[in-house]
Structure 1
């Protein structure tokens, strides 16, 4: 998967983008020169303070030279470029920067020309607005869920809003199973910079990795990085890389669970089993093969809690994916589990086989190691 930008360009040494631009022409949106960086141009729309969608598409991002996709030469050049990129290198997918800053009709043509999976960055928490870019493109990053999770896990908002967001997204998006779910990225301060609590982070990670959608882990999260706003959130990976870190192992384990041959986590059913302000329980699969417990409540030591689980018949036995000796039985549509510091906990049906083939584990660990080694740095603005 390759990160690409079609909205703007960067400044290079020795280049001068100072082209005169008539103020009235820009107001009328005719004769627009995409490379102008005069004061007149910037006085019309303050950087990153756009008032409407027209300004979002025509104004500049952080003073970067903006491309005019309505110009046929610019448009055809970009479409030919992405088509040749796929053909030459056999690329499987693209992460596309700043898609809301370009008209949707261009992205429809871009998707066809790319001939590969396209995941767009539509960085808004408005579900209706964001969903409009799935269709022109295969999918978008799930920013509405990102903002919901931020409020739930770092601001102690009710965990019930996780299901509320999911229900609203099902009504607006064409396919929620291909949305990109994430909790850290290159543009925002890291989770641990906002809330320096590993347990809360692990609960949030459990939801990202096991809920519907494509899980995306930003490099350094597994290394307990806690950088603030850009560029502090782009810490050097070396010499801090450690495969033995607690978070690395946790992410690897849940990644392995997603690769179970008998359960398609990308599309199989997700069901809310129980929701409260501080606990959320959901299952995956048509037979609820996997049951996940997460919390946004900080706790010390062990505690035992009962949860209603009416998706199972009495007598159903579930087993902790980490410890086969930790099994629980459904009684009177209730389940009693022991939680350690409210860490996330995942169970599987006892009749469900959960292969722990060391070869498969090795493959997963190697793949994750390789991804981190090459560095998942987003270099686009």
Structure 2
């Protein structure tokens, strides 16, 4: 298994995906010190591509619970950034082992290898935490521009004793990754990288330092290397809406401590229905939506979710059912005369009749389930403590559909 893919590829052919141990061993040997063999790594990359049915489905990793943490092999931060960059941007499904972002250093000994994460302090300003966050955001942006990006097999376009260049992606949006094992004490040098398939004059942004380079007239990319850090290049024009290197993000969060009220109407049994959302979270929220369809007419209402709590910051929805002034109704509270309708909370199984209010709290988001009856149409909401939950209710043509994390 230590760089031999013959058996691993047979397993992958049977079960579809495996952890990429053949790459792991040559990868860690290549980047654990400046004497590591880049050539062995390249040979293994080529061998896995040739012998395995689909290595893009393999789990790409440099740490897990069965092997020594990378920090136990070297304390060089630049080498750690290089191996993580390979894990995140080369072929495969990136896997970051808990604590790797905090540079936990447990060796193969099981007690030290499984140190609790809270001992590291959950530091979101740790260098590797920030490094992984940028790479993850960048990778998601690239995938959003081309769904088949992950299936494109990376090509080695540059190689010397200490450096490696990879090209991954379709023409015009390919990612160019330049790695090296020189370490953090390395002096400044430059690499002339070709084979990237970008035309002369193309402006590429190095996303880890937010600096721009231009492909020269010879078609080469002159890459400045310093302190042994990795480089990742992508066309400047394709970083729009990425939120990377100062670019505007596709969906900006709402300002903090704001009040938002949006009305929309539908009908229940011929009665006008007003749905409004009120009170955003006092911390910057993530905009989500509530889809409510009553009697077949859809209503889309923006709502908010707490980015830190993840699923508890929805304040409440208020649904007001109001009969037209020209229509008589037997309801006990009428708004035809402009008076404020009465309000009460509904419990499980209670009924909401025309001309009354329905108040839905965020209780369902904490894992509870509630059932209410809206003018005879049963609505059921079941929550999940993860990033998406849906509830469906049916009856007499009524339908309540709530979806978060979209």
**TM-score if structure 1 supplies the norm length?**
0.59
Instruction: Tell me, yes or no, if structure 1 residue 198 matches structure 2 residue 82.
Output: no
| Deviation sequence 1:165-192 (CA, Å, 0-9, x none) | 1211122211111001110111121111
Report the counterpart of residue 335 of structure 1 in structure 2: 221
Report the counterpart of residue 114 of structure 2 in structure 1: 234
Q: Quick one: structure 1 residues 253 and 194, their matched pair in 2 at CA, closer, same or farther if it must change by over 3 Å?
A: same
Report the counterpart of residue 262 of structure 1 in structure 2: 145
Partners in 2 of 1:209 and 1:186 — Cα distance?
Answer: 18
Instruction: Tell me, yes or no, if structure 1 residue 250 matches structure 2 residue 131.
Output: yes
Partners in 2 of 1:222 and 1:359 — Cα distance?
Answer: 27
Partners in 1 of 2:176 and 2:252 — Cα distance?
Answer: 22
- Structure with the largest fraction of strand: 2
Report the counterpart of residue 309 of structure 1 in structure 2: 194
Partners in 2 of 1:169 and 1:332 — Cα distance?
Answer: 32
Structure with the greater relative contact order (CA < 8 A, sep ≥ 6): 1 or 2?
1
Partners in 2 of 1:135 and 1:220 — Cα distance?
Answer: 31
Deviation of 1:134 (Å)? 1.4
Partners in 2 of 1:160 and 1:125 — Cα distance?
Answer: 12
Report the counterpart of residue 87 of structure 1 in structure 2: none
Q: Quick one: structure 1 residues 192 and 359, their matched pair in 2 at CA, closer, same or farther if it must change by over 3 Å?
A: farther
Partners in 1 of 2:124 and 2:250 — Cα distance?
Answer: 16
Count of aligned pairs between the two proteins: 246
Partners in 2 of 1:267 and 1:330 — Cα distance?
Answer: 30
- Structure with the largest fraction of helix: 1
Q: Name stretches of at least 5 consecutive residues in structure 1 with no aligned partner.
A: 1-122, 375-381
Deviation of 1:207 (Å)? 0.5
Report the counterpart of residue 92 of structure 2 in structure 1: 213
Deviates further, 165-174 or 299-308:
299-308
**TM-score if structure 2 supplies the norm length?**
0.56
Deviation of 1:327 (Å)? 2.7
Partners in 2 of 1:204 and 1:161 — Cα distance?
Answer: 15
Matches for 1:57-136 after TM superposition, within 5 Å: 125-136=3-14
Q: Quick one: structure 1 residues 124 and 294, their matched pair in 2 at CA, closer, same or farther if it must change by over 3 Å?
A: closer
Two-structure CA RMSD over aligned residues (Å) = 2.7
Instruction: Tell me if structure 2 keeps the 8 A contact 1:258–1:265.
Output: no
Report the counterpart of residue 138 of structure 1 in structure 2: 16
Deviation of 1:360 (Å)? 8.3
Matches for 1:349-368 after TM superposition, within 5 Å: 349-354=235-240, 355-356=242-243, 357=249
| Deviation sequence 1:233-280 (CA, Å, 0-9, x none) | 111111421111111111011111111211444212422221111011
